[in-house]
Amino acid sequence: MSLQLGVVADDLTGACDVAAGVHALGVDAEVRLGVPDSGAAPEARVVIVALKSRTAPAAEAVRDSVASARVLRSWGARRLYLKYCSTFDSTDEGNIGPVADALLDLAGEDAAAVGTPATPAAARTMHRGHLFVGDRLLSESSLAHHPLTPMRDADLIRVLARQTPRPVAGIPLEILHAGPAAVAGRIAELRAQGVRHVLLDAVEDGDLDAAAAAAAGAPDLILTGAAGFAAALARSLGGAAAPSVEPPPDGARLILSGSGSERTRAQVSAYRGPSHPIDVSALVAEPTAVVAEVMRFVGRAAGTPLVTATAEPEEVARLQARWGRDRTAALVEDALARVAVAAVEECGVRRVLVAGGETSGAVAAALGATVLRVRRIAAPGVAWTTATDPSGRVLDLCFKSGNFGGTDFFDRAWD
Ligand X SMILES: Nc1ncnc2c1ncn2[C@@H]1O[C@H](COP(=O)(O)OP(=O)(O)O)[C@@H](O)[C@H]1O
Return residues touching ligand LQPF2A5O (CB under 6 A).
Answer: 11, 13-14, 17, 85-87, 226-227, 261, 356-357, 381, 401-403
How many CA within 13 A on the CB side of residue 285? 3
Cβ 375 to ligand X shortest distance, Å: 21
Q: Candidates 91-99, 204-212, 284-292, 355-363 — which segment interacts with ligand X by CB under 6 A?
A: 355-363
Rule CB under 6 A: say whether 256 interacts with ligand X: no
Q: Candidates 34-42, 257-265, 382-390, 406-414 — which segment interacts with ligand X by CB under 6 A?
A: 257-265
| Residue number, 266 or 284, with CB nearest to ligand LQPF2A5O | 266
Q: How far is CA 110 from CA 104, 191, 220, 401, in A?
A: 8, 8, 9, 35
| Residue number, 272 or 322, with CB nearest to ligand X | 322
Considering CB distances under 5 to 8 angstroms, the limit depending on partner class, which of ligand X, ligand LQPF2A5O, none binds residue 227? ligand LQPF2A5O
Rule CB under 6 A: say whether 332 interacts with ligand X: yes
Q: For the chain, how many helices (H) and strands (E)?
A: 15, 18
Distance between CA atoms of residues 323 and 329, nearest Å? 10
- Could you give the 3-state DSSP secondary structure of residue 78? coil
Choice from 4, 224, 304, 359 touching ligand X (CB under 6 A): 359
Burial of 63: CB neighbours in 10 Å, binned 0-12, 13-18, 19+: middle
- Could you give the 3-state DSSP secondary structure of residue 43? coil
Residues 348, 377 contacting (CB under 8 angstroms)? no
Rule CB under 6 A: say whether 148 interacts with ligand X: yes
Binding-site size for ligand X (CB under 6 A) equals 25
Distance between CA atoms of residues 175 and 172, nearest Å? 6
Cβ 76 to ligand LQPF2A5O shortest distance, Å: 26
| φ, ψ at 36 (rounded to 5°) | -75, 155
CB atoms within 10 A of CB 179: 13
* Interaction pattern, residues 366-405, with ligand X; x per rule: CB under 6 A: -----------------------------------xx---
Interface residues with ligand X (CB under 6 A)?
13, 147-148, 258-261, 264, 280, 309-311, 316, 319-320, 328-329, 332-333, 356-359, 401-402
